[in-house]
């Protein structure tokens, strides 16, 4: 079965993939099963509710470094149990310059777990680096483990790579070497997100590794790399970005991304 891949984005071009496929009736039936009763309130809800009436801090207050808002988020991180919420809070706090080891360690642990995932990438690519069909190695992986390819594809795209978004959005220079490791991942979502993490750091040492990765990486991985290179003013980065966009005749997209980079700078890559 052939299919096409489409990108969705959080604030980036390559932040996910949706395969255009027809769901089997059995899959739809399972999806339509009634949900169980509402779970007990999470620790996040319990932490936030008591002071909801008095809490006048907005997300913008937090992004602007309001001391009370920052203190509330530190407390929330300490008491929360939801892993993705903790990653989000740790990422925001690091981006604000609260460079405590506990936040770095939490994000790095999650990112390395994702990096260790051995699931093959679901798509096979053509000569231009475009996704065009299932990767036979991925289908064999699923078959040996009695996994449904579509469900496994969604896990690889939406779940495995998620920690890298929070790592990259943190803008913490301490993660430079880890971002370089991410450029070598077989998970193309991790590659692209690591590239944008490097773009946010604006460390010129990253230009050559990004160019090298762009020449060996297909699909959404290269998509994240080429966009990231536009955020460096160095002529080498700009020329390589043009080379990579030209591979898929994407000049209009390049012009759009270049304008975004010009208007917003590296701060425009992520939500914080």
Cα 82 from Cα 72, distance rounded (Å): 16
Q: Are 210 and 241 in contact (CB under 8 A)?
A: no
Lowest mean pLDDT among 4-8, 142-146, 179-183, 237-241: 4-8
CATH classification code of 5-21+58-269 = 1.25.10
Cα 92 from Cα 69, distance rounded (Å): 12
55 band by pLDDT with thresholds 50, 70 and 90: low
pTM higher than 0.95: no
First and final C-alpha spacing in the chain: 40
Q: Are 27 and 34 in contact (CB under 8 A)?
A: no
Q: How many helices (H) and strands (E) does the chain have?
A: 15, 4
Cα 159 from Cα 153, distance rounded (Å): 10
In sequence order, the β-bridge partners of residue 6 are 18
**pLDDT above 70 as % of the chain:** 80
Cα 9 from Cα 17, distance rounded (Å): 9
pLDDT digits over 15-46, tens only? 334 333 322 323 222 333 333 343 444 444 44
Cα 158 from Cα 155, distance rounded (Å): 5
Question: Which stretch of DSSP H or E encloses residue 123?
Answer: strand 123-125
13 band by pLDDT with thresholds 50, 70 and 90: very low
Question: Which stretch of DSSP H or E encloses residue 16?
Answer: strand 16-19
Q: Are 240 and 211 in contact (CB under 8 A)?
A: yes
Cα 272 from Cα 270, distance rounded (Å): 5
Q: Which residues contact 240 (CB under 8 A, 6 or more apart)?
A: 210, 211, 214, 226, 229
Burial (CB count within 10 angstroms: exposed 0-12, middle 13-18, buried 19+), residue 56: exposed
Burial (CB count within 10 angstroms: exposed 0-12, middle 13-18, buried 19+), residue 221: buried
Burial (CB count within 10 angstroms: exposed 0-12, middle 13-18, buried 19+), residue 23: exposed
Output the CA–CA distances (angstroms, integers) from residue 134 to 21, 25, 37, 50, in the order listed: 11, 21, 37, 50
**In this predicted structure, what is the pLDDT of residue 54?**
52
pLDDT digits over 193-243, tens only? 999 999 999 999 999 999 999 999 999 999 999 999 999 999 999 999 999
267 band by pLDDT with thresholds 50, 70 and 90: confident
Domain locations along the chain:
5-21+58-269
158 band by pLDDT with thresholds 50, 70 and 90: confident
Q: Which residues contact 68 (CB under 8 A, 6 or more apart)?
A: 57, 61
Look up residue 58 and give its two tokens.
Answer: 């907005």
Q: Which residues contact 10 (CB under 8 A, 6 or more apart)?
A: 16, 165, 270, 271
């Amino acid at each position: 079965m052939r299919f096409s891949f489409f990108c969705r984005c959080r604030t980036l071009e390559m932040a996910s993939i949706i395969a255009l496929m027809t769901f089997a009736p059995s899959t739809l039936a399972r999806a339509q099963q009634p949900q169980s009763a509402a779970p007990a309130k999470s620790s996040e809800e319990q932490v936030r509710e008591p002071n909801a009436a008095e809490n006048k801090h907005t997300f913008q207050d937090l992004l602007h470094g309001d001391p009370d808002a920052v203190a509330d988020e530190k407390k929330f991180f300490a008491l929360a149990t939801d892993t993705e919420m903790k990653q989000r809070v740790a990422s925001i706090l690091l981006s604000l310059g609260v460079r405590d080891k506990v936040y770095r360690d939490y994000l790095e642990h999650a990112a390395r777990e994702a990096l260790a995932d051995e699931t093959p990438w679901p798509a096979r690519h053509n000569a231009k680096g475009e996704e065009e069909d299932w990767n036979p190695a991925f289908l064999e992986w699923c078959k040996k483990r009695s996994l449904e390819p579509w469900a496994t594809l969604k896990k690889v795209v939406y779940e495995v790579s998620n920690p890298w978004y929070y790592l990259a959005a943190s803008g913490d220079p301490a993660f430079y070497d880890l971002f370089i490791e991410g450029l070598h991942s077989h998970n193309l979502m991790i590659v692209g997100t690591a590239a944008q993490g490097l773009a946010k750091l604006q460390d010129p040492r990253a230009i050559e590794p990004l160019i090298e990765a762009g020449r060996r990486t297909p699909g959404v991985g290269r998509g994240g790399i080429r966009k990231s290179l536009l955020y460096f003013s160095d002529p080498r980065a700009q020329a390589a970005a043009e080379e990579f966009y030209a591979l898929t005749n994407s000049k209009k997209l390049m012009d759009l991304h270049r304008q975004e980079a010009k208007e917003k700078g590296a701060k425009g890559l992520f939500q914080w």
